[in-house]
Structure 1
Amino acid sequence: MHIDGKVVPINRAQATPSPLARLPVVLLQVRDKAAQQLQQGLQELFDNADDTLFEMADKARSNVDHHIFFEAMRDLRLKRKNFERVFMEQLFAAFIDLGQAERGEFHLVPMVSYEAAPGTSSDELEKAVALEAMLGRVRHRDGLALGQLTARLGALLGNPLDERDNPLGPALLCEFFLRAGRSLGVEIRVKLIMLKLFEKYVLSDADQLYAEANQLLVATGVLPQLKAVPSRRPGGREAREQQREGSVQAVDQPMDENGQQAFAALQKLLAAVRGSVAPTLEASAEPQPIATRDLLRLLSHLQQYVPEPEAEDDFDLRNQLEQLLTRVSVKSGKSRVVEDADEDVINLVALLFEFILTDHCVPDVFKALIARLQIPLLKVAVLDKSFFSRASHPARRLLNEIASAAMTWSPRDDYQRDSLYLRTEQVVQRLLNEFVEDLAIFPQVLAQFSASTADERHRSELLEQHT
């Protein structure tokens, strides 16, 4: 009987199952969980590689070295996606190899050794030494968890497994990284820097990788009698995030005497405009002021509905607060109004933002971002009146930093991909999402924004010199 070349007979299809079909479901879960963590590590690696190479270029003692590191930065940016893709392909292929019926005795990666073959170049020898040291540190630090994972994988597959065949072992992970980096046209110094970054941002989290893989296998009954390895020191990604946050001192709490006096002086000037934030209904009784705590709750409610920068409608804070007060008044049956001191704060903050948003030196795209900070900054001023008198107040400095940086920005059509715009957008979104009443968030955000702005300024100056 003639068989169309495009049709696969049922008996043949059954005889040649997909390599993935040979893998137990739990092994696929281990693979996918590990792939997710490794992908995050690689992303963090590349995010920091640019800064590391830039710093090396900045410290270069010769124009040749300066050029080498700048070219490496460019090469990494162009080939980053391909690098990550090849790494993940190697990882998935290694898991498929585990399911092969006849694995034989081959290993995907030889054990790296100080002993180099005759004729090995000094560059290769240097790389081999660096790799050997990296593998040794991982095995010394996480060897027990790695050994348990290797034993469990072997038991699951019904065939003893060597660490060198463990797709999550440090030897194979390094091999995947080296194979993915073959497309990079960089010299040995840059390769060694990349290896150090791989150890810092990927291998340093190996304990978490092995712990989660072991947990998945134990949950399905694979060698549950092996004693669980206790988590080692707080480290890896969590430690790096804590380090970036730094030690932050709390904002000085209200009220200092000078701040109170300055605010009192401003209140005299604002007396004429009071009453602009009030419910739009006929008061059936004497207006009842709402407490400052209730005002903060109303503002936190409004904060959740601040429109996106692209929204065409302007966000009028006082108008939105009026509408909210009207709803509260109708619901309670009483005319609820804002206390005089709190209304003065609202009017002052509104004037501050009106001044910034009408400044022709601030680009429109940044005005849209800055406008979204009205409620967080108003809540700060309600909580701490020294916001108006203390020039060093973190929230006030943050607003000044953003406005100053925006004034030096060069307009571009694809502004949504601009680094300054993205950093500012992240600051605004973080404050909208996280700030309730803890003022300690402002020194954190200010420190991060100021540091990134200074780095970007220095980077621009160096790039101009290089060009």
Structure 2
Amino acid sequence: MSLQAQATVGSEAAPRKAAGATGKVSNPIVSALYEMAVSVLGEQLREMFDKADDILFDSAEKARAGDEQRLYLDTMRIVRVQRAKIISAFQESLRAALSGIGQDEEDRSHLDDMSQWSLQDGDALEERIAVTSMESKAASLHAHELVELQRRLARLADLAGDGVSPESMAPARIIRAFQNSMRDLPVEFPIKLVIYKLFDRVVIARLSEVFVGANQLLAVHGIEPRIDGPSPPRKASESLGRSALQSAAGVPAWASGLDPSTFSAFAAPMSAAASSVGGAMNSPAAAQVSLPGMPAHWVGPPAAAMGSAYGDAMLAHEIAQILGAYAQGRVPQAPRWLPPQNVALVARMFDGFYRDARLPDHLKPMLARLQLPVMKAALADRRFFADPQHPARRTVNDLFEMLLQFGTAEAAPQPQMVNELQGLIDSVCKSFDLDPEKLRASQAEPVDERLADGFLREQEELRQKKNRARVERVRRIVSHELKRRIGERRLPPGVMRLMLSGFGPLLCLDYIRNGIDGASWTQTMQLVDRVIDSLQPRRGSTAERAAVEAEIVASISRRLANIGFSDSRLEELLSGLLQAYLDLADHDDEAVFESAETGQLRVSVPDAPPAASLALSPEKELQGLLSILLVPGGWFTVWEPAAQTKHWVRVKGYYPVQNAVMFGHYMEERFLRMRATAFATDLIEGRAAPIDPSPELQAAVARIAELPFERGSDVLVWTSVDGKPVEAQAPGRTSDARA
């Protein structure tokens, strides 16, 4: 017999009664929610049994004694025979647990409440400890998704009532449903405990799938989280009382919010990618680059990393230990050379990336490949946290924005473009793949609270300014389309102000909402055409012209007011158009004469002179199309035929008057300057390509190919920022890819 913290009102009969209940749920949203949970968890349980043979056989192989080996093998046999019964009982018990939403939760036992201690059988104690451990793990591992779900359920309770509880899908209910399904299983307790461990390892680790699915289902029905809903679950250390919290005085304030679940969810692909990249880097033909501010000896000779006793697997393991300790509110016990603060800050950085709703799941493993290399770069150089332009930090932020563009593309990106993106990520991983053994010997310097807070603040500001390149590109697209409509005509300054400051923002919004083929864009462009046409000399009476002009002004006022233009702003923009109409009326060359037949006065307007061409010259159209392509920060590949090398570059600036464009290396301080017409030639001949799935870029390249302009190519010469040629790198030191 053992001492166990047990609720005096809780008995063995209570769970059985709860499991047998079939509470009726009248709310269709709640019913759909619970059926989804039962379906997903039932499938996860089947997968657990499918994997059981491999897991248990591997455990038996590693077991120290014969009795322990027999335990795993006996469990394997029981699982094969009883799996159907356990799955059926679990689904029935889960439906009953979820449907009993109007019932208060049973009083739970807590080890820190001595008033509830009583004598209990040792097996029962061990079972309750296993169940409580799974509940704590699930609440901590999936805290973010769980809190959001609880707040949505709180909102649903406000709207629908029906006894809906924010805790109705808590991990405790799911785990106790599994416990009830195991209650009548005719097996010895050690075997039951091994099955609990299987459930913990396979199902508990994937509970976020249930919570994410529930959040999505509620979101589809318009159920948003309640702001004042439940707070995040308490950390494990909080349940131990004030003394435990005092022992964690060394935990930074920002680390209390660290959730390593999304970071660790991609730990496997991270480690695999790191190993494969490390293997590629350690080959004799591997190419590496030394980063500014990073000691050159850290990028050691290829053979050094291969023979290193301390490798990526050990580093990844120690990182996981650090993050796990922070998640539990404990001070990590880390090696002196590996500052826990630095590790946790990089984890917070990637956690912010993964939680962005615009990043689809299928692109997250691609981003995860950067985790370990970027972690190494941050450990190697403390400037990573102080300087937003640090090569590793800037590059991973930029690649994240690029992945967002691939995730929000309306059509699937072309395979060639995806390959370019994968090649770029491979190159970045290789550049930051430092030798863990030399990192360990370098004794990284920990960041202080001030630097950590500044780093997190800068990353948050960066997230709030996402898609800056896309916004700038939309602005340039609108500007180019307006110039195409206006053509070579010279409009009065007041009307140009209306075009750029009135129709410009309206068209940007139309484009973002529905694209260039949307109805709103078409209507706005028709209004632009009407304004241009109304400035032409035309036949008709003064009254007829005044009516047309008034209707145009009213239409513009309505459209701009609908997107938030104030009355004073409208008056300012429309005054230029009204003045143009007045000037046009003053200069009307009208001949008034009396009809010989009727004696009535008639108005005769002479034929208008030919209107200026509405087509842009090829030179100006090329400049407009290149301005759409060459947005600062945009990524391109540029092929150098002489060296048979592909370079990944980013736009630094486009200078139409000088017919020049400047690119920067994707991470190093070296630049390419070339004629804009030469770059346009490279685009249409396949030596250059944008790494962006946006259809407007593909359309711009196709249109450039149709324009008549002087074709030609430039020799690629790398220079410093002041234009001086950069000496060729030593062999094996370039980060670009060779065919």
Compute the TM-score of the two structures, normalised by the length of structure 1.
Answer: 0.41
User: Which structure's residues are more often helix, by fraction?
Assistant: 1
| Greater RCO structure (CA 8 Å; 6+ sep) | 1
User: Which structure's residues are more often strand, by fraction?
Assistant: 2
